[in-house]
Amino acid sequence: MINGSIQQKKGNLYAVLSVPKAGGGYKTKWVSMKMKPTESKRKQKAKLDEIRIEYSNILSIESFEIKFCDYIKKWNEETKSEKSITTYDGYCHMINKYLYNYFDERGLTLAELRTADIESYYRYLQHDCNLSGNTALKHHQIIYTSLKYAVYNRVLKENPAEYVKRPKKSKANHDFYNANELKELMSVAKGDVLETAIYLTIWLGLRREEVLGLKWCNIDFEKHIIKICETVVRAKQDGKIVSMSRKRTKTETSNRVLYMTDVIEDYLLHIKYQQNKYQLICGNSYDINDYVCKNKLGEPVKPDYITHHFNALLKKNGLRHIKFHDLRHSCASYMLDNGYNLKQIQELLGHSNYNFTADVYTHVDIKSKQDMANKISNDLKAVY
């Protein structure tokens, strides 16, 4: 337990704690005992012991000298190289928009942070900010990991987030289109800048970042396969929102090979022909790159644009509002309705399964992949 003594200053009693410094040695920290010198020695001694126990988690004086909100910003920057660009960007957003202001108003230092303070923050997120349990869990991940870093660097003895009552994960509420709605969407999307992204997402159940990251070099017309192995994501760089290409997918199971049906192959060859035609028309103004989803000037479609423009496309044509990501769920729902089991659909979508570990995943044989791909692409055939 941390050493301490009782001192009197301006008519008040203080616990003077002897706290280690990171570079060696000790430094004193004065903590108000919130009692007058007139209290009995027994009560004074009991209060001192209470404070010593309360601060027994402290291994370094630095934890008294930095507010928790400032510490977590410092941690995010110090560990930036260990995170992906999108993870770092997401952490910055959550810290700057919610966490920093909340804890700054309370003035809590890293040493003063308690489990109850963290739980109060989670209640604030869900009740005052109306954030979902899933979003609150992301904040928990930030807080827990940052405090674990403090323990690792011997600033704190224990992680106060270790014992919190974690926010409950909320059940995802996905919407989806039925077959008729999908056909109508494909009809109104014809000729739109999002046409290719919409068609491929419906046929193959791709994520937004996967369909935008698809390149011609990952499409093998001889073997009739499409490799899902790259993504394009939204990130902030030098204060600006940019699109970042990554030579990896969301998870290991997301990196997958999909069968290309005759319908999909014909459509992609048509798109490739169209892009070559636009390149000839635009000349030097054409943006030469290997992406499949791009506009008539060859510019790749950006993640933010696909979200906003998709909403506008639905509204313009009087279609029921869903998110672009719901097209992926529409694909899965369609396959379920047509008798394919969850294991087959998991393989098609590259989904992680939280009920089983990765080593018990079963794989769909190529014939099943062909059947699934043929079913959806032939039933929902594009007109071009």
Query: For position 234, which CATH number holds?
Result: 1.10.443.10
What's the CA gap between 333 and 355, in Å, rounded? 20
Residue located via tokens 């794989």: 363
- Say whether both 155 and 209 belong to one domain: no
Mean of all residue pLDDT scores within the chain? 85
- 205-209, 296-300, 330-334: least confidently modelled range: 330-334
- 118-132, 139-153, 331-345: least confidently modelled range: 331-345
**What confidence category does residue 295 fall into, taking pLDDT thresholds of 50, 70 and 90?**
very high
What's the CA gap between 291 and 294, in Å, rounded? 7
Name the domain boundary from 100, 132, 163. Answer: 163
Question: Rounded mean pLDDT of 205-232?
Answer: 93
- 15-19, 87-91, 190-194, 220-224: least confidently modelled range: 15-19
Residue 143: inside a domain, yes or no?
yes
How many Å from the N-terminal Cα to the C-terminal Cα in the chain?
A: 76
- Say whether both 94 and 243 belong to one domain: no
What's the CA gap between 207 and 348, in Å, rounded? 12
**What confidence category does residue 245 fall into, taking pLDDT thresholds of 50, 70 and 90?**
low
- Say whether both 240 and 363 belong to one domain: yes
Give the chain's count of helices (H) and strands (E).
Answer: 15, 8
Q: Is the pLDDT at 240 greater than 90, yes or no?
A: no
User: Tens of pLDDT along 335-370?
Assistant: 877 777 667 777 777 766 534 322 322 334 455 667
- Say whether both 50 and 70 belong to one domain: no
- Say whether both 259 and 286 belong to one domain: yes
Higher-confidence residue of 157 and 115: namely: 115
Residue 110: inside a domain, yes or no?
yes
Question: Rounded mean pLDDT of 91-97?
Answer: 94
- Say whether both 225 and 264 belong to one domain: yes
Residue 174: inside a domain, yes or no?
no
- Say whether both 52 and 70 belong to one domain: no
- Say whether both 32 and 94 belong to one domain: no
Higher-confidence residue of 297 and 173: namely: 297
Residue 184, pLDDT score: 97
Residue 296: inside a domain, yes or no?
yes
- Say whether both 192 and 154 belong to one domain: no
**What confidence category does residue 22 fall into, taking pLDDT thresholds of 50, 70 and 90?**
low
- Which amino acid is located at 312 in the chain? A
User: Tens of pLDDT along 165-201?
Assistant: 999 877 666 788 999 999 999 999 999 999 999 999 9
Q: Is the pLDDT at 325 greater than 80, yes or no?
A: yes
Against a cut of 0.95, is the pTM above it? no
**What confidence category does residue 126 fall into, taking pLDDT thresholds of 50, 70 and 90?**
very high
- Say whether both 346 and 290 belong to one domain: yes
Q: Contact at 8 Å (CB) between 149 and 60? A: no
Residue 173: inside a domain, yes or no?
no
Question: The domain containing residue 356 runs over which residues?
Answer: 179-379
Residue 329: inside a domain, yes or no?
yes
- Say whether both 301 and 185 belong to one domain: yes
Question: Rounded mean pLDDT of 19-48?
Answer: 82
What's the CA gap between 163 and 379, in Å, rounded? 52
Q: Is the pLDDT at 10 greater than 90, yes or no?
A: no
Name residues whose C-beta falls within 8 Å of residue 164's C-beta, 6 or more positions apart in sequence.
115, 118, 119, 122, 140
Residue 248, pLDDT score: 55
Q: Is the pLDDT at 7 greater than 80, yes or no?
A: yes
What's the CA gap between 185 and 198, in Å, rounded? 9
- Say whether both 149 and 114 belong to one domain: yes
Paired with 226 in beta bridges are 219, 258
Residue located via tokens 């202001």: 101
Instruction: Please state the domain count of the chain.
Output: 3
**What confidence category does residue 324 fall into, taking pLDDT thresholds of 50, 70 and 90?**
very high
Instruction: For residue 260, report the phi and psi dihedrals to the nearest 5 degrees.
Output: -105, 115
